[in-house]
Structure 1
C-alpha cells in the first residue's frame, strides 16, 4: 500500500452506468483519497513555507490545492446525488455524468482546465508526487525507482500524445523529447543528483498538465451538436446534484443561503442549425456559471459548519487541559455552542458567536494556547 493518496480507478468506463456496489466502493475510496490528499497538501504547504525555493514551488502548490478543491466539490455532489438515488429520487445516469463530465476548476475561468474526475485525480497524484520530490527528496523512493517511474510516465504520455495533432501537440512532443534526453543523461550518471531527478519529475508533471489542458481546449474549440448534447446531459446531472446539496443545507442549517438554481432543461433540446447551436452553447455556458455560483455558495455554508464543529472540538480539548476554573462559564458556553450545532437546523450564528467569545477569552487567559 502506498504511503500517499493514490487515485481510485473509476467504477465504470465512460458511457456506462456504474453498478451499485462499484459506486459505493468508489465513493468510499474517493473519501479516503480526499482525506489523505488534504493532509498531504497541508504538510507540503508547511514544508514549502521555509523552503529556499518557495517562489518556484508556489505555482505547483497553488495548482495542486485548486485541483484538490475542485475534486472535493465534485465528491460532495456525487455523495448528494447517490443519496438521492438510494432515496428513489435520483438517476444512476447522473452519477456517471458527474464522474465523466467536465469538472471546472474554481478559478473563474471555465476553460482553464476542464477535465473529468478520473483525470483530475490522476493529475493531482502527479502534481503531489512532483512537489514531494522537490520539497522532501529524502522521503521519496530511491533514485533508480524514480528514474524507472519517469520512463514509464514518458511512455504513457507519448501514447496519449499520439492521439492528438496540431501545433500544441508538436510543442509537447518536443518537450517530451527534451525530457527523454534529460532522463537518459541521468541514467548515465553513477549517482544522479536528487535535485536533478526532482526537476525532471516537475517538468514531466507540467507536460502532463499541459496535455490535459490541450485536450480540453481542443474539445471546446471543436464544439458540435454531439458535444452540446453531452454538455447538456452533464449540466442536468450537476443541476440535480446542486439542488440536492442546497436542500441539505436548507434542512440542516439556519440561516441558510437561498439561491435560484437554473434548470438546463428549460433551454429545450439541442438545435440542429449552426447559428441556433452557437447561441445554445452560449446559454449552456451561462447555466454552467450559475450552477458554479450556487454550488460554491452552498458548499461554503457546509464548510462554515464543519469549521465551527472543528473549532468547538479544539475548544473542548483546550478546556480539558485548563484545569483551573475561570470567571466565565466556558464549559457552559461550549455546551450551548455544541447544542446549537447539533440541533436541526443548526443555529450557525449563535454557535459562531459563542465559539468566538470562548476563543477570545482563552486567548487572553492563555496567550500560548
Structure 2
C-alpha cells in the first residue's frame, strides 16, 4: 500500500464514530446492587414478579407456561377481555422505571458517556432513565458527549407532538410552543414489534442506521439479540452490511458463554473479517484502554502497527471530582484540537 493511500485511510478512520448498543445487561451491570434506593432493573424472566405486578395475573388464564414477560404480555394484548390488565401492567412498568435513580457515586454509565465524544453514539433498547441521568452528571465535566438513541423509547424522553421536538421529560414544557411534553409510548415486549409505530422510535432507528453504516467500532453491551426480536437484528445487519468493514472491530460485553455469543453475532463479525473481542466488563474494552480516543487508539495499534500503551486508562473513581481529574488531560488537549493518544 502506498504511504499516501495508507495515510488517507488512517485519517479517514479516525473521523469515524464508535457505536455502543446497550441491552438490559448494561443497566444490570451499572447498578448491580440496585439503584440509589435499592430498586432493581429486572430481566425478562420473572419480570412482573420483580417489579411487584404479579398479582395482576391472579384472575388471568394464560396458555403460556413461561414466566417471560414477553410471552405473557404478547398473549394478553391479543385477548380483548384483558385490556384493563394490559393497561395496569403498562402503567406499572412506566412507574417502576420512572422512580429509578443512579447512585450518588460514579457508575459505569458515567464512565461510558464520558469516554466517548460527540461524533460517537450510544443506542439503547432499555426503558430506564439512568443513561440520561448519567449524561446530565458528566455534562458538567464536558459538553463534548455522544449522541444517545432510545430504540424502544425511554421514560425520561419528552415529546412535543406539535413541534416534533424531543427533550428530557422532566423539562415538562416545550420552549417553542409552551405546550406540555408527553412521553412517547414505550415499545412494550410483544413478539411482533412495529418499529415505525411512532415518530420518535422511527427517527431513532433512522439515526441508528447512519451509525451502523459508518462506525469503525461497534460495542454490544448486555444485548443478547433475542430470537423474538429478529426484526431488530435484521434491520441492524442490513445497515451494517452496506459498507466495507474488513478493518472494523466488534466488541461484545456479556457474561454469557463466549461460544454462544460469537454464534449469535456471527453475521456481523463475518463482515469485519472476524475482528471480534468478547469481554465480561466495560473496563476491559477499548474505551477503557483509550477513553475518548477509542478510534484513535484502535487505528494507531491495528492499522499503523503501534506497540505502545496508553498512559491514561479508565479506572474506577469514588467521586466526580476524581473522575474530572482523570479526564482533564484529555479534555484540555481537545480544546487545542489535539486528539492524540496519551
TM-score relative to the length of structure 2: 0.26
The structure whose residues are more often strand, as a share, is 2
User: Of Structure 1 and Structure 2, which has the larger fraction of its residues in helix?
Assistant: 1
| Structure of larger gyration radius | 1
TM-score by length of 1: 0.24
